[in-house]
Chains A and B, each alone.
Chain A
Amino acid sequence: GAVVSQHPSWVICKSGTSVKIECRSLDFQATTMFWYRQFPKQSLMLMATSNEGSKATYEQGVEKDKFLINHASLTLSTLTVTSAHPEDSSFYICSATSDRGTTNEKLFFGSGTQLSVL
């Protein structure tokens, strides 16, 4: 089945540094990728939708200059948390829709990235 590889699985960084998270679709072309954030005991909150070759669409309240999304190819999307602060510590997870005629109801999730900002 379709696989989405997300790296890193976890990262600890100092406040003020930038962190890049990658999501790759391994055996399919992901025309659309979604980025979610999840705080402890809370729901997955959609941050942005990225389409290959175009600018990402951000959800209300998500700072596009802080969370940079790049979807340069059909198999790779990246999320960069710029100048991370402790309040950015969260579980970040991507998901992708397949181009194989699977209904777009089915999303394939990466395994998530736990970010801890000290």
Chain B
Amino acid sequence: RKEVEQDPGPFNVPEGATVAFNCTYSNSASQSFFWYRQDCRKEPKLLMSVYSSGNEDGRFTAQLNRASQYISLLIRDSKLSDSATYLCVVNRANQGGKLIFGQGTELSVKP
């Protein structure tokens, strides 16, 4: 089983749509969780950290369910510029700084 698994995608949505990404992780001792965004052939960029209480940043909302080992990202009112691959990322327990990436879910927002 992969350490971090995401929806396979791709997601093709119209502008303005709401889109949700799901992710599960296998190591229950993992401590830190993130969503990264990666454009084609570019380095990944941190979108947001994910906290147990849930957190929101503008149109983006992240949720964490430790019991289910499940992480989600919701994008509201999607924009063309949101088109990218979204990576669910988890730190390896007790190895701070060593991040494990999911395979990514590609999002394409169409006019």
Contact = CB atoms under 8 A, between A and B. Distances in A.
Given A44-B87, A105-B49, A112 B42 contact: yes
B8 to A, nearest CB: 10
B104 A105 contact: no
A32 to B, nearest CB: 6
Nearest to B106: A41
A46 B97 CA distance: 12
Interface residues of A, number: 22
Interface residues of B, number: 21
B42 A107 contact: no
A91 interface: yes
A78 interface: no
B101 interface: yes
Nearest to A36: B101
20 contacts: A34-B98, A36-B101, A42-B103, A43-B87, A43-B102, A43-B104, A46-B99, A49-B98, A95-B99, A97-B97, A105-B32, A105-B49, A105-B97, A106-B46, A107-B97, A107-B99, A110-B43, A112-B41, A112-B43, A114-B41
